[in-house]
């Protein structure tokens, strides 16, 4: 079956209804396009859980602040469609902004508390409200059996799990591991912003996270490790660092001394035009 592309919620629902009538399981993979192998790995995981795979491509304006890169965000639909077709994806849903937010649209979805006030929530005020709003809509539009999200955006995955549970959205939320380039750089649509020189520097983030993770897992004090990590990231050419922090893997509470329970180290830092994020799991030895 080759890829079909639809642009309206009505066409999306009609397609899913036909699949449901055949008794098929459906998975949704939400994206903003400019697809890379990380996104494609999500479609493969989706295939393990479902008979039909939908990838949505929508650069959601409500999750970008006015000073951010909504206008510049790469839009590469024909190349994306080719990648999805090659990956065996059945349906691409790529709505317009007007289809998602018609005149009169007035509803917000907001996740309170510790999970959204920290990390990217602190650095990008309103970002997770926009994510919660658009993902709620996509889940209700497609009503898949499951939806796949990357751990690359770990905080986003936690926020999505939270509101899906709180709002009783009947979709299983599945997390997928981070896909990396050969030199360790986490794949990202925003890597396209990097100049060749910056691209050579970019794997520093993963390296610093890896070094700290290995030591923290063996019980080392986090303070000196994080201070050295910040130095190394700045020395490589990143500036500024939005955050370099270790947090509880489930609650995202800050851990400032030593790691004694499953944790995660998170970084966000700017390199030229790109704001790059990454994270690693820390499992105490």
Q: Which residues are catalytic?
A: 39
Query: Annotated binding residue at 153?
Result: yes
198 near ligand AMP, rule: CB under 6 A: no
Confirm whether residue 20 is marked as ligand binding: no
Indicate the residue among 124 and 225 with the shorter CB distance to ligand AMP: 124
Q: Does the annotation place 115 within a ligand binding site?
A: no
d(CA 251, CA 256): 14
Instruction: Compute CA 207 distance to the chain's CA centroid, rounded to the nearest angstrom.
Output: 20
Which member of 116, 188, 204, 206 binds ligand AMP (CB under 6 A)? 188
| Contact yes or no for 268/247 (Cβ under 8 A) | no
Confirm or deny that 7 is annotated as ligand binding.
no
187 contacts ligand AMP (rule: CB under 6 A): yes
Rounded Cα gap, residues 84 and 69, in angstroms: 25
| Contact status: 189 vs ligand AMP (CB under 6 A) | yes
Among 45, 119, 178, 271, binds ligand AMP (CB under 6 A): 178
130 interacts with ligand AMP by CB under 6 A: no
DSSP, res 135: H
33 is in an annotated binding site: yes
Q: Cite the beta strand spans of the chain per DSSP E.
A: 4-6, 26-31, 52-57, 91-93, 146-150, 172-176, 241-248, 263-271, 274-282
Taking the complex as a whole, how short is the minimal distance between the CB of residue 119 and ligand AMP, in angstroms?
A: 14
Query: x/- contact string, 135-174, with ligand AMP (CB under 6 A)?
Result: --------------xx-xx---------------------
The continuous run of DSSP H or E covering 16 comes out as helix 9-21
Any known ligand binding at 151?
yes
What is the side-by-side strand order in the sheet with 274-282? 241-248, 263-271, 274-282
12-71 positions binding ligand AMP, by CB under 6 A: 31-32, 38-39, 41-42
Report if residue 179 touches ligand AMP, rule: CB under 6 A.
Answer: yes
Is the Cβ–Cβ distance between 155 and 111 less than 8 Å? no
Beta-carbon contacts of 32 under 8 Å, excluding residues fewer than 6 positions away, are 57, 58, 59, 60, 73, 189
**Chain-centroid distance, C-alpha 184:** 17
User: Using the rule CB under 6 A, is 209 a contact of ligand AMP?
Assistant: no
Q: Does 252 bind ligand AMP (CB under 6 A)?
A: no
Give the annotated binding-site residues for (R)-pantoate: 63, 156
What are the residues binding ligand AMP (CB under 6 A)?
A: 31-32, 38-39, 41-42, 149-150, 152-153, 176, 178-179, 186-189
Give the annotated binding-site residues for beta-alanine: 63
């Amino acid at each position: 079956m080759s890829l079909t592309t639809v642009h309206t919620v009505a066409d999306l629902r009609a397609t899913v209804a036909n699949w449901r009538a055949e008794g098929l399981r459906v998975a949704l993979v939400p994206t903003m396009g400019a697809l890379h192998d990380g996104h494609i790995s999500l479609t493969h995981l989706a295939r393990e859980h479902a008979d039909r795979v939908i990838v949505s491509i929508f650069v959601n304006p409500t999750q970008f602040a006015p000073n951010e890169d909504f206008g510049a965000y790469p839009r590469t639909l024909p190349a994306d469609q080719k990648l999805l077709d090659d990956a065996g994806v059945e349906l691409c849903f790529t709505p317009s902004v007007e289809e998602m937010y018609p005149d009169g649209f007035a509803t917000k979805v907001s996740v309170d508390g510790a999970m959204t006030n920290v990390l990217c929530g602190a650095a990008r005020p309103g970002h997770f409200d926009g994510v919660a709003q658009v993902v709620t809509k996509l889940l209700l539009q497609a009503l898949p059996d499951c939806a796949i999200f990357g751990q690359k955006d770990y905080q986003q995955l936690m926020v999505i799990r939270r509101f899906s549970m709180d709002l009783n959205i009947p979709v299983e939320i599945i997390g997928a591991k981070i896909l990396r380039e050969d030199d360790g750089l986490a794949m990202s649509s925003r890597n396209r912003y990097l100049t060749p020189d910056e691209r050579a520097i970019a794997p520093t983030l993963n390296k610093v996270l890896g070094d700290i993770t290995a030591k923290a897992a063996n019980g080392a004090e986090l303070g000196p490790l994080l201070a050295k990590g910040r130095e190394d990231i700045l020395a490589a050419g990143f500036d500024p660092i939005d955050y370099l922090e270790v947090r509880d893997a489930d609650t995202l509470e800050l851990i400032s001394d030593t790691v004694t329970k499953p944790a995660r180290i998170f970084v966000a830092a700017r390199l030229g035009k790109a704001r790059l994020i990454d994270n690693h799991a820390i499992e105490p030895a």
